Amino acid sequence: MQSGGKKIKRMAMRKSSPLGTVFLFLFLSLLMSALLVAILATVMVGTVEPMLTGSAEEMDRIVSAFENDESRADAFGRDYFILDENGEYKALVGEDTCERERSVPYTNFGRPDTGAHRYAVYADEETEKFFPVLSGDRSFEDVMGEWLMDIYGREGIRRLVSGEAPAEELPFWFSADLKNGSRLFVSFSVSSANSAIREIGFLTLGIIGAFAIIILVMFINSVNNIINRRRMLNLFFTDTVTGGRNYNWFLVKGEPVISSYGNRKKSYAVLCLGFEKYLTYSLVNGTAEGEKVLCDAYRAIKKSIGRGDLCVRANTSDFAVLTRIRDGEDVGGKMDLIIKVVSDATAYSGLACRGGAYPIYSVRTQSGRALPRKDADLEGAFNGAVAARETLRELPGTRAALFDAKMMEEQMWENKVLDGLGPALANEEFIVYYQPKYAPGTDTLRGAEALIRWQSPEYGFVTPYRFIPIYEKNGLIPKIDHYMIDHVARDLRRWLDMGYSCVPVSVNVSRIHFAEPDLAEQIRDMADKYGTPHELLEIELTESAFFDDKKAMLYTIGKLKEYGFSVSMDDFGSGYSSLNSLKDMPLDVLKLDADFFRGDMANDRGRIVVAEAIKLAKSLNMRTVAEGVEERSQVDFLAGLDCDMIQGYYYAKPMPGEEFESRMSMAQSL
């Protein structure tokens, strides 16, 4: 279903999921964790590196001492041993606790200086668990980090918080090749009670605490965002009258239902249910009573539909329902049931409930396979249900209607007409026809009425009855009014320039156009654009227009007459308050409705009404025009009543401008 001839691309409002916030929180948490590890690694390097570098520098001095004078090595006071090329002891000072099957390289945190490339680090019997067995994929820095984490993981953090530093030793052996082919092993150790390591602990606790607070704040903020988003969505999708969901939710929730893969075998119906004269009821009984009716109706509908069906208040007094059906007959049964339940629940109000239905059937191939609904349009389906209900205005005794093929054709035509307005105006596809008005006594041309026709390159010749009501219903008729006034003013100017003695031409102006306070100025400017004399343009108003904004109507009519335009009432006698209109409105011309002249004019009552209407107009100093006159007897009768002009098939049908121009030419030659 389309609106305005084009499918309006409604911004798809999907129910916001909290997964985005959760994923963002997890991503930021991982990012901060990685940053924490990087910071701690940097701190570790900055504090532990000097300790290890000092041990390596001492090893350099010991190696240099052995190579220059082995007796000097004892001065360093460390256990050591030397192995010859066959792995036999050449020297042993102290105890050999070196685990020679567990070793790692010393890389000095990736800096191959200070002899780092020459040394290997071997495990001691006390610390062998921290060293891999003959593995080259780890370094001594990794071993030391694992040892510190083991200490602080067991009891160090507790001691650190209490002001105590965990005191443990990490013994290890530095090994280096000597120039004489021997290999030197020297015992070293690192203490966890070292002030630098204790500072690492405090700093680590501080960084971890800070990051924990940041992550906690992020978590709380994420939770608050999720809660606020859900609260906002709940407000956005809640109907303020019934307390249930609203029409936006109906569209968001319903379209996936009818278009999903799993539901393509199922048939659905979209219903529009509403109350007649609800606004009048609320005006008389108060808004609170009106809303009570809506709440009772909403609860009744909810009870009468299935668990998977949807129901919302769509607008002032209409409800939208999406319900599962079996076939077309099931639609009627469900409609009758729901209307009965609603009518029973709101019987105290005296309001009549009526409804329209738009079925959405499962589409299958010849083999019986259900096809997906790729272009499901729930809003269009609801509009179809509304259109079906609107047909009930002409059927007072019927409470429900089903959208059918005829309505579909009418809706498609309406869409085409609305789509075609812009191109038709731009390409001047609308043609102005003129129906002459003649004086009945002399048969002389006295005026004309401008009537519109549409010569469409796609649809051919289209009569106004097929498009004017559509433009009126959709509020686009002012565009047609402008088009007609502009073209009539242009034609009149052209005929004047050709030397014709032009007669006044009346142009219809729609009632909704009078809502514009500067309408008189607009008409004046269009006439002045071509230099068309104002007295040649007559503005016709339908009788129904006089019952809208009376004050605005009087103002506009006054301005039109001030600018020199004549104003006429069209279709006089078709309404219910014509005499009251004549009393208040300073009109120039009164057009008697064509219904006066249909049938047998020999009827005395009809003759009396027409005669008195013309007499009344004369008394009010108004000219009279009789529409729809087709027989000579009618012409003679009106001539006897001194009717000023006759417009009808007896004299002429509406004709194109060129033909009317010929009529003017003939009239001037007589």
Residues present in the chain in total:
670
Cβ-based burial of 483 (10 A; exposed 0-12, middle 13-18, buried ≥19): middle
Report the SS3 class of residue 327: coil
- Per-10-residue mean pLDDT, the chain, length 670: 39 51 70 68 63 82 80 74 89 90 78 58 88 74 77 60 65 89 90 62 66 76 76 80 89 81 75 90 90 93 89 91 80 87 92 88 63 71 86 73 78 88 94 95 92 94 92 90 96 94 93 86 96 95 70 88 92 64 84 74 74 89 91 89 92 94 81
Q: How far apart are CA 627 and CA 572, in angstroms?
A: 10
Domains and CATH numbers, the chain: 19-210 (no CATH), 247-403 (3.30.70.270), 415-669 (3.20.20.450)
Position 492 scores a pLDDT of 96
Q: How far apart are CA 57 and CA 75, in angstroms?
A: 16
- Who's near 366: CB < 8 A, 6+ residues apart? none
Q: How far apart are CA 273 and CA 124, in angstroms?
A: 88
DSSP string computed for 211-278: HHHHHHHHHHHHHHHHHHHHHHHHHHTB-TTTSSBBHHHHHHHHHHHHHSGGGTTSEEEEEEEEETTH
Q: How far apart are CA 488 and CA 537, in angstroms?
A: 8
Are 436 and 667 in contact, with CB atoms under 8 Å apart? no
Dihedral over Cα of 482, 483, 488, 490: its sign = positive
Q: How far apart are CA 256 and CA 14, in angstroms?
A: 10
Q: What is the pTM of this model?
A: 0.56
Position 12 scores a pLDDT of 43
Are 92 and 81 in contact, with CB atoms under 8 Å apart? yes
- Who's near 105: CB < 8 A, 6+ residues apart? 119, 120, 121, 136, 139, 140
Position 521 scores a pLDDT of 95
**Residue recorded with tokens 């009552």:** 605
Are 108 and 116 in contact, with CB atoms under 8 Å apart? yes
DSSP string computed for 637-654: HHHHTT-SEEESTTT---
Position 235 scores a pLDDT of 75
Are 566 and 523 in contact, with CB atoms under 8 Å apart? no
According to DSSP, the β-strands at 400-402 and 460-462 are: unpaired
The tokens for 14 are 């999907």
Tell me the β-bridge partners of 136.
none
- Who's near 628: CB < 8 A, 6+ residues apart? 593, 594, 595, 596, 597, 598, 647, 648
Q: How far apart are CA 349 and CA 336, in angstroms?
A: 19
Position 550 scores a pLDDT of 78
Q: How far apart are CA 461 and CA 313, in angstroms?
A: 43
Element housing 561 (H / E)? helix 550-562
Are 384 and 403 in contact, with CB atoms under 8 Å apart? yes
Are 49 and 42 in contact, with CB atoms under 8 Å apart? no
Q: How far apart are CA 647 and CA 95, in angstroms?
A: 134
The tokens for 151 are 């200490």
